[in-house]
Amino acid sequence: AMGAHGRAAGPHPAGRKAKELIGSARESLARMVGGRPEDIVFTSGGTEANNMVIHTARRHFHESQARLGDSWGTPHIVTSSVEHDSIRLPLEQLVKESLAETTFVPVSPRSGRAEVDDVFAAIRPTTCLVSIMLANNETGVIMPVTELSQRVHALNQRRAAEGLPRILVHTDAAQMIGKGRVDVQELGVDYLTIVGHKFYGPRIGALYVRGPGTTTPLHPMLFGGGQERSFRPGGSLMEPVWVFLPQAAELVSKNWEAYEAHMRDVRDYLEARLEASFGKQRIHLNSHFTGSKRLCNTSNFSILGPGLQGRRVLSHCKMLLASVGAACHSEKGDRPSSILLSCGIPYNVAQNALRLSVGRDTTRADVDLVVQDLVQAVAQLDQDQAL
């Protein structure tokens, strides 16, 4: 496969081989999420896929308006207060430029979820997109996307009769794939974002679109060569896709239940060891919300006490590599995660937060070493505090 350097559009043997490999990658990805190969569009990563959905929803709103000769006004988008920056920042930019209106629905401090009733309360006649992540990257809380899609679908039938724009439904499934069941038929969404490196594949992305350009609109942001049926021209991202992505996707399709069970066992053991080592009074589990399901691999917790900000604890660890929040926007000093604050975690607790993720190969022995490392780091900081 590494020798397939031909252009997929080329008429020569190398081109045919490249086309075949890309087709196989598309099939593997489709199988992994329960879609059809023609519903998969490759992108450079999750950020591009998310931006593409927002761009499409706005374009579709304006085109529908022009076709019907109606004047609905400015497109409106509904999302949650805990989305990834690749959803939040493009929407904030559109608002700043008066190109769209956006409602950021707060999550419930009881459940950590964007509740369906709250999302529905934010919908207006001009709403063209609802985008709610499948699982949060900091708390691990799983959002009620299936119920949301069902209700939007029913609402769209009524809206069509009233001459109102269709509401498209998108979920960013970056965190969930490889750690739990992801089935686009079950979820009922129009768009779903896929990120390769989150399931041990290459650092590229893909967008699932339910019938791109036919059932569901999809508008390119780039114009150039005709790659990806002109939805996403540009050939530079293809080579790692051909080779490693199908393998990573097939592993998920075959083994996700075993991966999930293993990671949940190790994560639960980690939380039990933390409480046993520091005492239940001193550990606050920031990702425990009554009645909410969460990702099997994520533990977000705070070790309570003065001078134990997440960053300070990590800087005193000898072997632990972890983050205090999302790794892709970690230049925030000691300011606590806005996601945790949105979930109702008190400021002084959120400031001490650490987010640990376990992987397919993490063992209980690894957990013992990590907890030991945290105990020595905290003892050192407690001692410094006492001086």
**183-220-54 Cα angle (round to 5):** 60
Least confident of 117-126, 149-158, 171-180, 224-233: 224-233
* 356: its two tokens: 């640990």
Please check the confidence at residue 3 and state whether its pLDDT lies above 50. Answer: no
Q: Which of 128, 296, 317, 328 is catalytic?
A: 328
Please check the confidence at residue 358 and state whether its pLDDT lies above 90. Answer: yes
Residue % of the chain over a pLDDT of 90? 78
Write down the pLDDT at residue 71.
75
Residue 240 — very low, low, confident or very high, per pLDDT cuts 50/70/90? low
| CA torsion through residues 360, 363, 369, 375, sign | positive
* 200: its two tokens: 């041990």
Write down the pLDDT at residue 331.
54
Please check the confidence at residue 125 and state whether its pLDDT lies above 60. Answer: yes
Residues in the chain: 387
Please check the confidence at residue 29 and state whether its pLDDT lies above 90. Answer: yes
Please check the confidence at residue 234 and state whether its pLDDT lies above 70. Answer: no
> Comparing 239 with 371, which gets the higher pLDDT?
371
Please check the confidence at residue 225 and state whether its pLDDT lies above 80. Answer: no
Rounded CA-CA distance 292/110 in Å is 9
Helical (H) or strand (E) element with 23 = helix 13-33
Residue % of the chain over a pLDDT of 70? 88
Please check the confidence at residue 60 and state whether its pLDDT lies above 60. Answer: yes
Long-range contacts, stretch 361-367, CB < 8 angstroms, 24+ apart: 362/263, 362/266, 363/266, 364/266, 364/269, 366/266, 367/266, 367/269, 367/270, 367/273
Least confident of 133-147, 212-226, 315-329, 359-373: 315-329
Q: Look at residue 142 and give its three-state secondary structure.
A: strand
Which residue type, as a one-letter code, is found at position 307? G
Write down the pLDDT at residue 329.
52
Please check the confidence at residue 91 and state whether its pLDDT lies above 90. Answer: yes
Least confident of 40-49, 201-210, 239-248, 340-349: 239-248
Q: What average pLDDT does this structure show over 297-325?
A: 92
Write down the pLDDT at residue 98.
97
Write down the pLDDT at residue 325.
67
Q: Which of 194, 188, 84 is nearest to 133 (CA)?
A: 84
Mind listing the pLDDT tens digit for each residue in 257-281?
Answer: 999 999 999 999 999 999 999 999 9
Write down the pLDDT at residue 1.
40
Question: Taking all residues of the chain, what is their mean pLDDT, rounded to a whole number?
Answer: 90
Q: What average pLDDT does this structure show over 344-355?
A: 96
Mind listing the pLDDT tens digit for each residue in 320-345?
Answer: 987 776 655 555 567 899 999 999 99
Q: Which of 201, 180, 203, 249 is nearest to 28 (CA)?
A: 249
Q: Is 328 a catalytic residue?
A: yes
- With a CB cutoff of 8 Å and minimum separation 6, the contacts of 177 are 32, 33, 194, 195, 198, 199, 252
